[in-house]
Amino acid sequence: MRAGHHSRGFWLKASVVLATAIVASCSHVPSGTPVDDPALKELFRPNEPITQEELLRGSDGTAYYTAVLRQSPPREFEIHYVEDLEKRGFSMRAIGTSAHAPIGRVEGYEVSLVREAQLEPYTIKYKSAWQGNPDQARSLPHLRNYPYPLEVTGRRIVLSLGAVFLGPWHTAVVIPDHHVVDPPPGLPLPPGAVVTDAVLERGSTSIKWHGQRPEDGWSLRIQFIAKLRPPDAILLMRKTLAGSLGSVTSETPEEFAFNFATVPPWALGAKSGRLSARNILFSSGHGVFVAAAGHAPKKILPGALGGQWQAMSLIHLPPDATPYWLVLYFGPEAALPALQAGPGLERMSH
């Protein structure tokens, strides 16, 4: 019996060693050139004690953060680590095939890191990268999901950051402290509001507005940010239009559409208008969004498909800052000559 007992013990130990070897061989330990960026390392460092860490420019062109924990990780370590990363502004947003595709799959991840850079004017800095199948490969059939960027094997952490993540930080002024575009003279704005854009639109054509009166058939969309909740902004617009307001064609807590009875000078001859609250203060177009406080999700779900994520690191974002569109309409759409881009006009591509 002892011989059998020793035999079973031998094979049990051998199988454990073999399993450990298989796991070690399957885990991804990247190689590459170390990058000296202490601040970036600190943002990715786990709260548990570590024995070593590296920020690498991998030989495959991808950036990696790797670390080795001093002890075996506690249960649910990966979940808590991702939550800590989210609080620091890091997210891994899964991008998948259409919901109507025969076989749904994850094509890759938008990996981003967003931090507050300045409070006045409110400015962010961010990095973002695509970690997934190249564009030309997305239309090809794949049966497997693209691997999750975070891998925890034993005591080793490997975080895949994408090819351009080690590039310079991008910065964006989310809430300016002055008008970026001059509004029409006398435009009734809430106190402290700033105009961020003004665009002439007709059909699929958009042109930057530079102060001239639009032709009939066009609309002028004025974008501004105000530290005022939508119901209060609509009430203020109603009071401002008291002497010139005609009929109200639509009104909700976040939108107010109206016709002019008499056209005030700031309306530039428009027939009607619409004030509406929006939800996105800033979008990079590459996975970085800053939402108005009323629309910002409270939690980022790791691996969730779709959606627009608000970085949880933006703790000083003014809670009442809301973007608005004030659209002025200049008569019915008519077969008029298109307003041409020329001196003082900049044509925008859609």
pLDDT at 300: 39
State pLDDT tens for residues 257-300: 999 999 999 999 999 999 999 988 988 876 788 887 655 444 43
Sheet (strand 50-58) strand order? 32-34, 50-58, 63-69, 156-162, 150-153
At 307 the pLDDT is 43
Does the CA dihedral 8-11-17-18 come out positive or negative?
negative
Residue 140 CA to residue 170 CA, distance in Å, equals: 32
Mean pLDDT of 336-343: 37
Mean pLDDT confidence for 140-160: 85
50 pLDDT band (50/70/90 cuts)? very high
Percent of the chain with pLDDT over 70: 77
- Ranking 96-100, 149-153, 220-224, 243-247 by mean pLDDT, the lowest is 96-100
Residue 48 contacts residue 73 (beta carbons within 8 Å):
yes
Position 145 scores a pLDDT of 81
Q: By the 8 A CB rule, do 331 and 268 touch?
A: no
Confidence of residue 303 (pLDDT cuts 50, 70, 90): very low
What band does 142 get if pLDDT is binned at 50, 70 and 90? Answer: low
Q: Write down the pLDDT at residue 293.
A: 65
Q: What is the pLDDT of residue 312?
A: 86
Q: How confident is the model at residue 348 (pLDDT cuts 50, 70, 90)?
A: very low
Structural tokens at position 345: 């006009």
- pLDDT at residue 141 in the model: 55
Q: Is the pLDDT of residue 176 over 50?
A: yes
- The pLDDT, as a whole number, for residue 343 is 36
What is each CA distance from 175 to 52, 209, 225, 234, 291, in whole angstroms? 40, 21, 7, 20, 12
| Per-residue pLDDT at 44 | 96
d(CA 294, CA 320): 8
pLDDT of residue 132: 79
Cβ(34)–Cβ(59) under 8 Å? Answer: no
Which region among 44-53, 114-123, 263-272, 310-319 has the lowest average model confidence (pLDDT)? 310-319
* Average pLDDT of the residues of the chain: 79
Work out the pLDDT band at 32, boundaries 50, 70, 90.
Answer: confident
Q: Which residue has the tokens 């509001």?
A: 193
Residue 310, pLDDT > 50, answer yes
Predicted confidence at residue 158, as pLDDT, reads: 95
Confidence of residue 143 (pLDDT cuts 50, 70, 90): low
* CA–CA separation, 187 and 328 (whole Å): 12
CA dist., res. 222 & res. 224, Å (int) = 7
Q: Hey, which of 4-13, 221-230, 332-341 has the most confident mean pLDDT?
A: 221-230
Check whether 31 has a pLDDT greater than 50.
yes
Q: What confidence score (pLDDT) does residue 140 get? A: 55
Lowest mean pLDDT across 87-91, 93-97, 184-188, 342-346? 342-346
- State the DSSP H helix or E strand holding residue 267, giving kind and residue range, or none if neither: none
User: What local confidence, expressed as pLDDT, does residue 88 receive?
Assistant: 93
Q: How high is the pLDDT of residue 119?
A: 95
pLDDT surpasses 90 at 65: yes
